Structure 1
Amino acid sequence: MKKQRIYFILFFVMIAWGFNVTATKVLVENFMPVTMTALRIFVSGMSVFFILFIMKKVRLLTKKEFIYVFFGGLFNVVAHQYYLSTGLTQTTATNGGLILGLGPLLTAILSVIFLGSVLTSVRVAGIVMGIAGVSIIVFQGSGGIDGVSVGDVYIFISILAQAASFILIKKVSETLDPRLMTGYMLIMGAVILFFISLFKEPEGIASMANDSVGLWVVFFASAIIATAIGHMLYNGAIGKVGAAEASMFLNLNPFFALVGAAIFLGENIEVVHILGFILILFGVVLGSGAFEEIYRKVKRKQNMPIAK
């Protein structure tokens, strides 16, 4: 597959993921968030397995793989989706999308702590810029730390949990197809979320009785296009162009979240959001190691001998 085609696929995925923040905001305002999320993730997981079954990629997990996938799912699906859906009931899609943009940066920080990755001066600069960017967004107009939105904190916990899951996923991805791993995590996480919803939202199932066709279109588009197909395409792209190049496209995610919030929800995009986005953008590029990896690739190509 040509790189241009892979880049186009990644660009499409970032549009889907960015707009999915807006879609989730709409869904949690019309359904009880945890119940809705459990059902949405279950539909996503079943969609992944349906596609993989056609591709003949489905197999059972080994005992070791099951342990990693289970705990990865607790972070990647249960904690991430729980705090994301709950957080979006208490903050704007604009703030949520920008804070979610910290994902690659938080993954890099956790890789340094748990996987022994090297912390260079360039990465430190990126981490500082990313933290500054999200701080500006969270504290904007809140009157200081005492006025920070609980929703913003939940969104941050959400993306931190997802970043932690990537550390576990990395340990099992050598033997297990990332797409199949995604399917198992989605199904396991959906089941756990559903049991949580039974206690937290006793009327949750009743809240899903909505006859709005448009709302259900958003529900299934979020579940199938953004979550199921989006994650499968992104994981597949990593195998083709590498994690560093694929992660560069993640910088478009908060941008499309801003666009979606402005177009579909009418949220105001202020100067502080643009400034925060720019700081997070440069923070992710530098702090995630993507800049250094691509720089090394360019240097290697420049030093390659010219064939005669």
Structure 2
Amino acid sequence: MLALRPYLLLLLTVIIFSGNILIGKALAELPALTISWVRVFIAMLVMVPIGASQMWRAMPVFKAHLPSLLGLALTGVAFFNALIYAALKTTSSTNVAILESTIPVVTILFGFALFGERYRAIQWLGVAASLTGAVAVVTQGDANPVDGVAIGDAIMLIAVLTWVGYSLLVKEHMAKFPRYGGLLAMLIIANLALAPLAMLEWLWSGRVPDIGTEQALGLAYLGIFPSVIALLFYNSAIGDIGPTQASVFLNLLPVFTMLGAWLLIGETITLVQVVGSLVVVGGVLLTTRGRRGG
């Protein structure tokens, strides 16, 4: 039973991340920056008892590496999810999940372009397959791609690039910071960045959003489960089976999101989305199976 524990944690992690997209879609009437701000505010409150002592002890480290800390907080914590919630206003949950699953492939492209990292032929085949699947999903197979692209899909592509930037920063800088103290510090920075932007949204719309009971419960889910619990589950699983095996489970994100969108919020699933998601996931598996060349 203990041997199955990390796999159960990873399965729960993917389900929680799917819930982030589905609930983000259900909350689409709220402004995107407001959703993101309330999410990180709740997550910050949850993380205070977990990471406050670590953060306090590491304050000299944070001061010494403030630019990298700011970059991590703004890309991965503040604006990645804000862009997801903005995208969900004009595209489907399924499209968001499929495009999010291309992140490993886009990261490989940036690693090659910026750092000259080398990859095997099978990995490049995976890159081509994933990008082809993503283009098919975004355009819905339209012969005129520009006519087929929704604004939300374009915003989600920006979100993917934002997370790639975060991933590159993690690779270079995250090891400098304590795990939980670093997360709390990034949540505090994200709050400081998002709060004034959320208030600008209110000024722009001329009112403070009305948040009912169901919306409050949805926001609480976003702040507690994807922001904190899924992270703890994922980190625990990585400690047991390593990052390579753990990352493969994230390829299930489009599958769970597609099923949830169909069952829970009544989204129509198209053949292009089903085939495109299979091509994207297959491509990601090819890119992540082989190790980089020397």
- Report the TM-score, using the length of structure 1 for normalisation: 0.85
Asked if 1:32 is matched to 2:31, the reply is yes
Q: Tell whether the 8 Å contact from 1:182 to 1:231 is kept in structure 2 after alignment.
A: no
Q: Which residue of 2 aligns with 1:191?
A: 192
Q: Which residue of 2 aligns with 1:154?
A: 155
Q: Which residue of 2 aligns with 1:88?
A: 88
1:66-123 Cα deviation digits (max 9, x unpaired):
3212111221133312321111111111211111111222223223334443221111
Letter in 2 for 1:227: S
Cα distance in 1 between the residues matched to 2:78 and 2:222? 17
Q: How does 1:113-262 map to 2 (within 5 A)?
A: 113-140=113-140, 144-147=144-147, 148-202=149-203, 206-211=207-212, 213-262=213-262
Cα distance in 2 between the residues matched to 1:255 and 1:42? 29
Superposed displacement of residue 194, structure 1:
1.7
Q: Which residue of 2 aligns with 1:306?
A: none
| Deviation larger for 78-87 or 150-159 | 78-87
| Deviation larger for 99-108 or 274-283 | 99-108
Query: Which portions of structure 1, spanning 4 or more consecutive aligned residues, are displaced by more than 4 angstroms?
Result: 203-206
Cα distance in 1 between the residues matched to 2:65 and 2:252? 32
Q: How does 1:70-81 map to 2 (within 5 A)?
A: 70-81=70-81
Letter in 2 for 1:151: G
- Partner SS, residue 166 of structure 1: helix
Letter in 1 for 2:20: N
When residues 19 and 102 of structure 1 are mapped into structure 2, their CA distance, relative to the original with a 3 A threshold, is same
Q: Which residue of 2 aligns with 1:274?
A: 274
Letter in 1 for 2:202: E
Q: Tell whether the 8 Å contact from 1:130 to 1:279 is kept in structure 2 after alignment.
A: yes
Superposed displacement of residue 34, structure 1:
1.1
When residues 179 and 129 of structure 1 are mapped into structure 2, their CA distance, relative to the original with a 3 A threshold, is farther
Q: Tell whether the 8 Å contact from 2:40 to 2:78 is kept in structure 1 after alignment.
A: no
Superposed displacement of residue 39, structure 1:
1.4
Letter in 1 for 2:232: M
When residues 193 and 205 of structure 1 are mapped into structure 2, their CA distance, relative to the original with a 3 A threshold, is farther
| Deviation larger for 76-85 or 34-43 | 76-85
Superposed displacement of residue 237, structure 1:
2.9
Q: Which residue of 1 aligns with 2:46?
A: 47
Which residue, 57, 60, 66 being the options, matches 2:58? 60
Superposed displacement of residue 234, structure 1:
1.7
Q: How many residues align?
A: 287
Superposed displacement of residue 206, structure 1:
4.7
- Partner SS, residue 126 of structure 2: helix
- Partner SS, residue 223 of structure 1: helix
When residues 209 and 203 of structure 1 are mapped into structure 2, their CA distance, relative to the original with a 3 A threshold, is farther
Cα distance in 2 between the residues matched to 1:240 and 1:90? 39
Q: Tell whether the 8 Å contact from 1:44 to 1:223 is kept in structure 2 after alignment.
A: yes
| Deviation larger for 277-286 or 139-148 | 139-148
Superposed displacement of residue 129, structure 1:
0.7
Amino-acid identity (%):
23
Which ranges in structure 2 are unaligned for 5 or more consecutive residues?
none
- Partner SS, residue 180 of structure 1: helix
Q: Tell whether the 8 Å contact from 1:84 to 1:154 is kept in structure 2 after alignment.
A: yes
Cα distance in 1 between the residues matched to 2:80 and 2:266? 26
Cα distance in 1 between the residues matched to 2:178 and 2:206? 34
RMSD value, Cα: 2.3
When residues 265 and 2 of structure 1 are mapped into structure 2, their CA distance, relative to the original with a 3 A threshold, is same
When residues 167 and 95 of structure 1 are mapped into structure 2, their CA distance, relative to the original with a 3 A threshold, is same
| Deviation larger for 221-230 or 237-246 | 237-246
Q: Tell whether the 8 Å contact from 2:111 to 2:117 is kept in structure 1 after alignment.
A: yes
Cα distance in 1 between the residues matched to 2:67 and 2:155? 26
Which ranges in structure 1 are unaligned for 5 or more consecutive residues?
294-308
Q: Tell whether the 8 Å contact from 2:95 to 2:153 is kept in structure 1 after alignment.
A: yes
- Partner SS, residue 269 of structure 1: coil
| Deviation larger for 20-29 or 229-238 | 229-238
Superposed displacement of residue 157, structure 1:
0.8
